[in-house]
A and B are shown apart, each in its own frame.
Chain A
C-alpha cells in the first residue's frame, strides 16, 4: 500500500469515527426531551381530567384543595416580603464593593448557602420557630422558604448590577448625586430585569418546594389564614395524597400536580418574558 493510500484510509477512518461520535452526542442529547415530554403529558392528561370547579372553592374537608392554595399563596407571599429587601441590598453591596475582602467572603458564603439541601432549612426553621412557639405554623414554613430564596436573589441582583455601564454611574456622580440616589434611581432601574428575574425564579423554586414544609407548616385540612397555626400547601398535599390508597385522593393529587406545574412553568415563562422585554 502506498503512503498516499494509507493516509486516505486513515482520514476516512477518522471521518467515520467523527460522524459516529456526532450521532451518539445527538442521540443522547435529544433523548433528554423524552422524560420531559413524558412528565408533562402524564401530568396534563391525568390532571386535566380530574380538574373540577369544586377543587378550588372548598377545603380538604369538602374534597377540595382551597386550603392548600391559600396556604401556598400566603406562605410564598410572606417569604417574598421577608427575603427580597435583604437579598437585593446584599446583592447591591456585593456588586458595588466588588473587590473588598468582605464581598469575597460573602460571595463564597452565598454560593455555599445556595447548595444547602432544602430539608436542612426545614430543620432550621423547626429549631428557630416551631420549638419556641410550641406549634407548627405557617410562619415557620414561610421563614424556611425565605431562607431558600435569599441566595438566588442575591446572585441574580449582583450579576445584573455588574453589567450596568460604569459611565452611567460616573455621570450621576459627576452631577453630584449621592450614593443612595445613584443606586436607587440609576443603577437599580437599569438592572431591573435581572433583579426581577431573580425574584421570579426564586418564587417559582419555593412554590414547588415540599421538604422544608413537612415539619414546619405541617398542614391541616381546614381553610386557615392564620400564620401562627399549621397551614397546608400544594406540594405537601400532593405528597400526602399521591401515596394514599384511596382513588379519589390520588385523583386529587393528579389535579393538584397539574395546577402546580402550570403555575410554576408560568412563572418560569414570565421570567423569560421579563428578560426579553427589558434587555438593553
Chain B
C-alpha cells in the first residue's frame, strides 16, 4: 500500500491552473468555457471540503473553550484537585471523575491485554487462514459492530447480577454488594476495546519479516521462542500503539459505563465501589444543567477531549512511523 504513494500526484498537479488540461481551452467557445468552469468548480470544492473539515476541528476547540469560560473563571485549577462536586452550591471539583475515568480505562486495558494479544498472535502467527481464523475474525468484527448501548443493556441485565452474586460472598470482608461499580465497568469496557487493540496488533504481527522468523526456526527455535525473541520485539511498538488507541477509546466511552458504574459523584474507594467517569457525568447532568454548572460540565468535556487527543496523537505517530495504516 505504502510503496504506491511515490507514484501519487503531488500538490502541484492538483493545484495547477484549471484550464491547463481542459480540452478546447484555446477557443472562446461556450464548450470550452463550461469545461473550464467545471474544472475550476471541482478543484475549489475539493479545497473547500478540506478547509471545512479543518475549520470544524478548530471551531470545536474554540467553542468548547469559550463555552466553559465561566467555569474556568469560577473554579480555576481546583477543578483538577477538588473532590467535591456539588452543583447546587456551585462547587465543581472533578477529581473523582478524573480518577474514575483513568481507573476504569487502565483496568480495562489490563484485563483486555492477555485477550487482545492472544487474538493478535492467533490470527497473525498461528492461524492466518482457515475456518477457525475466519470464525474468530467474524466474531471480532461483530463485537466491534455492536453499539455501546447494547453492551450497556447486557452489562446491566447480565453482568450486574453476576457481580452481585460474587460480591455477596465477600460481604464479610467489607464489600457492599452493589453489583454496579468500577470493576463491573472495567470488565465491560475490556470486552468493548479488545477488537480495536487486537486488530491493530494482528496487523503489526503479520508485518514481521518472514526471513527473520525462518532464521530463528533454522537455529532450532521453537514456535514460542520465535514469538518471544523475534515476533514480539519486532512488533512491540505497534502493539503499544494499539493499546494507546484502545485506551483513548475506553476514556471516552459513555453509555455502557453509565449503565453499570453506579453514577455516584464520589471518589471511588475500591474496585467494588460505585463511581463516575467524566463522560458519564456529562451524560447524566448535561440535559438539566444551566449556568456555571453547564460550563463546568463543558470544561470537563474539554479536558476529556484534550486527554484523548494526546493519546490518539501518540498512537498515530508510532503507527505512522512504522509505515502502516491502522484500521482501528
Chain A residues proximal to chain B, CB less than 8 Å: 11, 14-15, 17-18, 21-22, 24-33, 35-36, 38-40, 42-43, 46, 85-87, 89-90, 92-103, 105-106, 108-120, 122-124, 126-128, 147, 150, 154, 159, 162-163, 166, 173, 176-180, 183-184, 204, 207-211, 214-215, 218, 235, 238-239, 242-243, 253-254, 257, 260-261, 264-265, 268
A127 CB contact (under 8 Å) in B10, B118, B152, B298: B298
Q: Are A42 and B157 in contact (CB under 8 A)?
A: yes
How many whole Å from B203's CB to the nearest CB in chain A? 13
Contacts A30-B136, A99-B10, A115-B248; is A211 near B255 (CB within 8 Å)? yes
List residues of B (1-44) whose CB comes within 8 Å of A's CBs.
Answer: 1, 4-5, 7-11, 13-15, 21-23, 35, 38-39, 41-43
20 contacts between A and B (CB under 8 A): A18-B225, A21-B223, A25-B121, A26-B122, A29-B119, A43-B153, A89-B45, A90-B46, A96-B13, A99-B10, A109-B57, A119-B301, A122-B286, A123-B298, A179-B14, A179-B43, A180-B41, A208-B146, A218-B287, A242-B152
- Give the distance in Å from the alpha carbon of A224 to the alpha carbon of B163 in the complex: 40
Number of interface residues of B (CB under 8 A): 98
- Give the distance in Å from the alpha carbon of A114 to the alpha carbon of B222 in the complex: 40
What 5 A-B pairs are tightest by C-beta distance, nearest first?
A208-B147, A117-B252, A100-B11, A115-B312, A28-B118
Q: Are B21 and A173 in contact (CB under 8 A)?
A: yes
B73-81, B137-145, B208-216, B267-275: which lies at the A interface? B137-145
Q: Are A178 and B21 in contact (CB under 8 A)?
A: yes
Interface SS majority for chain B? helix
Q: Are A24 and B118 in contact (CB under 8 A)?
A: yes
User: Which residue in chain A gives the minimum CB-CB distance to B188?
Assistant: A35
Q: Are B224 and A17 in contact (CB under 8 A)?
A: yes
A110 CB contact (under 8 Å) in B5, B53, B151, B258: B53
- Give the distance in Å from the alpha carbon of A94 to the alpha carbon of B8 in the complex: 10
Name the B residues within 8 Å of A128 (CB-CB): 63
Q: Are B146 and A120 in contact (CB under 8 A)?
A: no
A96 CB contact (under 8 Å) in B14, B48, B220, B308: B14
Name the A residues within 8 Å of B253 (CB-CB): 117
Q: Are A127 and B64 in contact (CB under 8 A)?
A: yes
Q: Are A178 and B35 in contact (CB under 8 A)?
A: yes
Name the A residues within 8 Å of B53 (CB-CB): 86-87, 90, 106, 109-110, 113, 150, 154
Q: Which of B15, B150, B154, B248 has the most CB of A within 10 A?
A: B150
Name the B residues within 8 Å of A120 (CB-CB): 64, 252, 301, 304-305
Q: Are B143 and A35 in contact (CB under 8 A)?
A: yes
- Give the distance in Å from the alpha carbon of A103 to the alpha carbon of B11 in the complex: 9
**Cβ of B50 under 8 Å from chain A:** yes
- Give the distance in Å from the alpha carbon of A11 to the alpha carbon of B221 in the complex: 9
Q: Are A242 and B312 in contact (CB under 8 A)?
A: no
Contacts A21-B227, A180-B42, A239-B255; is A112 near B316 (CB within 8 Å)? yes
Q: Which of B63, B123, B153, B301 has the most CB of A within 10 A?
A: B153
- Give the distance in Å from the alpha carbon of A271 to the alpha carbon of B156 in the complex: 30
Name the A residues within 8 Å of B118 (CB-CB): 24-29
**Cβ of B237 under 8 Å from chain A:** no
Q: Which of A21, A180, A214, A235 has the most CB of B within 10 A?
A: A180
How many whole Å from B65's CB to the nearest CB in chain A? 10
How many whole Å from A109's CB to the nearest CB in chain B? 6
- Give the distance in Å from the alpha carbon of A210 to the alpha carbon of B256 in the complex: 10
Name the B residues within 8 Å of A214 (CB-CB): 283, 286-287
- Give the distance in Å from the alpha carbon of A184 to the alpha carbon of B43 in the complex: 12
Q: Are A38 and B139 in contact (CB under 8 A)?
A: no
Name the B residues within 8 Å of A94 (CB-CB): 50
- Give the distance in Å from the alpha carbon of A150 to the alpha carbon of B118 in the complex: 32
A112 CB contact (under 8 Å) in B43, B45, B139, B309: B309
How many whole Å from B136's CB to the nearest CB in chain A? 6
Given contacts A96-B8, A98-B9, A239-B259, 16 further A-B contacts (CB under 8 A): A14-B224, A30-B136, A39-B154, A96-B46, A98-B5, A117-B253, A123-B298, A173-B21, A179-B43, A208-B147, A211-B283, A215-B286, A215-B287, A243-B156, A257-B149, A261-B147
B191 CB contact (under 8 Å) in A11, A35, A209: A35
- Give the distance in Å from the alpha carbon of A213 to the alpha carbon of B302 in the complex: 18
- Give the distance in Å from the alpha carbon of A99 to the alpha carbon of B146 in the complex: 36
How many whole Å from B202's CB to the nearest CB in chain A? 11
- Give the distance in Å from the alpha carbon of A35 to the alpha carbon of B191 in the complex: 8
Q: Are A260 and B150 in contact (CB under 8 A)?
A: yes
Q: Are A119 and B10 in contact (CB under 8 A)?
A: no
Name the A residues within 8 Å of B227 (CB-CB): 21
Name the A residues within 8 Å of B252 (CB-CB): 115-120
- Give the distance in Å from the alpha carbon of A10 to the alpha carbon of B144 in the complex: 43
- Give the distance in Å from the alpha carbon of A162 to the alpha carbon of B6 in the complex: 11
Q: Are A116 and B308 in contact (CB under 8 A)?
A: yes
Contacts A38-B154, A180-B43; is A93 near B50 (CB within 8 Å)? yes
Name the B residues within 8 Å of A242 (CB-CB): 152-153, 156-157, 259
B259 CB contact (under 8 Å) in A24, A86, A243: A243
How many whole Å from B127's CB to the nearest CB in chain A? 9
- Give the distance in Å from the alpha carbon of A210 to the alpha carbon of B35 in the complex: 46
Contacts A93-B14, A100-B11, A102-B11; is A268 near B287 (CB within 8 Å)? no
How many whole Å from B233's CB to the nearest CB in chain A? 16
Q: Which of B49, B54, B316 has the most CB of A within 10 A?
A: B49
- Give the distance in Å from the alpha carbon of A264 to the alpha carbon of B150 in the complex: 11
- Give the distance in Å from the alpha carbon of A180 to the alpha carbon of B19 in the complex: 11
